[in-house]
Chains A and B, each alone.
Chain A
Amino acid sequence: MDTPASRSVYVAPSLTSALDALDEGGAAAAPFAGGTWIMRAPIRHELLKPRYVAIGSIPELHGIKIDADAVEIGAAVTHATLAAALAELSEFNVLTAAAGRSANPAIRGMATIGGNLATTAFAAADCVPALLCLDAEVEIASRGSRERIDLEQFLTMRSTLAPGWLVQRIIVPRQERKTAHARLPLRQAGDYPTAIVSLAVSLDDVGRVQTARVAVGSVEPVARRWERLEDALVGHPLNAAKAAHAAAGLADEFTGRDSTDVPAWYRVRVLPGLVRRAAAALGS
């Protein structure tokens, strides 16, 4: 295995020490969270960084704070821990499913939410569409500065962030809403999803959709909201068949990713079915 002797792993005991080490390391350094993406670099024919700053032992990055207004999730929280913490809060079903059903149990115990959001080259990340439909914000930090931005904005800038930054936490506002996550792996379990539809709706007194968020993952290189479908859902009772029909009429706005296991057209073709499943999971 290609492992030059100059490589190092620094286990940061605190957020301050991690930010200092990342700052000093510059472009040669990167955060190391669960390692489930980084350690596969040789398989992707990518070089490892000379210096990693391990952030998995930093207490400040491990908290999950559930308040009346928002849930705050530390970036180093693992998928398994997140799914367990949110299991009883039905408004977060979309995120519980994203974190609790991706990959396999051992990976869910390692992979972190921060790593899931920060991995630019990973189109099939489950938590990204889930958090997009929950209107999540991301707090990023570097030595001496901190910034809170929309997840959508973070996704557009993450590949160009200067060295030294890391995702510190994710903030999800709490609202009365129903949510669901529909994913299609090629095998029933343990596989990457071919396509993902994350759905969040709030209903008015007579059961009409008041607000809708639909996010699509794994179809294009970066997950994004499906705003035309959201508009089509608002003002009507949520009905799985009608939602799927509307999705079929609007799916041509997506250009699927081509890969050896899944052709581009297939990722788009399955979207209406996933919309149907997500809407049906909300009891419609």
Chain B
Amino acid sequence: MPATLLHDDVLQQRPMPLPAPRGAASGAVLDALQGEANGLDDAVDRALADTADILGDEDLQLALLLLYELHYGGLAGVDDGLEWSPQLLAARARIERDLEAAIRAVVRVPERPEPTAAAVAEALFALTGEDSGPSLSRYVARKATLEQLREFLVQRSIYTLKEADPHSFGIPRLTGRAKAALVEIQSDEYGGGRPGRIHSAIFARTMRALGLDDAVGAYLDLVPAVTLASLNTMSLFGLHRRLRGANVGHLAAFEMTSSLPNRQYGNGFRRHGFDEEATWYFDEHVEADAVHEQIAARDLAGGLVEGEPALLDDVLFGAAACLEMDGRAGAWILERWTAGESSLRAPVP
């Protein structure tokens, strides 16, 4: 193992810089974040009334992502107190209501298993094991150009620079077996006490190895709604206690569809001659997520359902929502690439 991999580099993130607006709603949110909230309610309501597809709506997905960022690392130059501004929370709630309805409308929830840990785990493995068509990971392994690898990291950076954070909001909402399982997984995600091994910090190394900026939000302007929607879905589930079952199901499905694709991603970077420093993130996930998926299926999702059987449907919904939303984001990239286009809104500088 090269020495650099042992070196505990600490990644210190700063509040996210404000992006450019993508329409009236995100523009009004940006204004409100800077103290000018007069037009917010109207702009958000109009955008919600006018949108044909909230899941792909650039303006609304960016507006929601900005409102959520107040609960994560914050926004540069923005008053931290706005996290609990009744007006901003009300705007967030209106977007969330339509987003949740839209996700529920497109997600196909599998048949209900018995509310036992073993049956829930089995149902989740069956659901996540279904082949969902063409695979981004195979494309990355075999065909992606260097430019596409950089695009892939830019797309991933929206979530991965805050990897594990959305689901961590669920910790105080759980008890017993499910809580211990979530903390066991998240502790590993957060480096087991070593800052240099926090997964988001390992990902930052991969970004740097490809000459990319590893600051939160550095490429937000380039990333399309479909990718923002995938993170917004996690934030929605994580920030609502009512949706703790969906939060758990989401994480379980995420972990259960990770180890095999990550080997392929790593292969794609190795094919272009990148070393262990660049592929550490993917290699780490091959091993880590093979552990996490077992804990997540049985102890986290199964444990939650055994403790609170009424949450069974939400767990299944959350898992199916993860596959659907991440599947859309992956399919978008693959479609653009196979058409010879960029998957981003503008080229990586």
A binds B: no
B contacts, CB < 8 Å to A: none
